Amino acid sequence: MNVVVLIGRLTDNPELRHTNSNIAVTRFSIAVDRAYRSGEERQTDFINIVAWRQTAEFITRYFKKGQRIGIEGSLRMNRYTDKDGNNRTSYEVVANNVHFVENKRDSGDASGYAPQETQAAPQSFSNSDSGDFAEIASDDDLPF
């Protein structure tokens, strides 16, 4: 079974691109802290992510540099030969589902994230979602 679940911070603003056949794609990396013990130095891994189609559009619309993101996906290994003729291997996570990990107020204070739109964003997105993005009501009026 090839399942990857990560929570990290975007290292840059994701940029939406399109293939020659007009399929939306975005590639970005997230910084993920490793578990550590008291007194030890924190270590961070930088993990490459790729998202396709509606997931790519969702990420580039709602996520910005420094914001925390939850990723569910699968690990993909790519083998290639570099310009010097050396065999190389790279790894990336193909994002199938993405989730907000912090609320808007927290992300605005901690990372400088400012939503481009005044409408509320969905709390998560899955490749299995169909149709256009569904907007949800703000949870500011809920008692919990």
1-60: pLDDT as tens digits: 999 999 999 999 999 999 999 999 999 999 999 988 888 888 999 999 999 999 999 999
User: Which residues have C-beta within 8 Å of that of residue 46, sequence separation ≥ 6?
Assistant: 11, 29, 30, 31, 32
The pLDDT of residue 143? 54
Question: Whole-prediction pTM value?
Answer: 0.70
Identify which of 53, 32, 29 has the alpha carbon closest to the alpha carbon of residue 44. Answer: 32
User: Which residues have C-beta within 8 Å of that of residue 108, sequence separation ≥ 6?
Assistant: 114
Instruction: Give the 3-state secondary structure of residue 124.
Output: strand
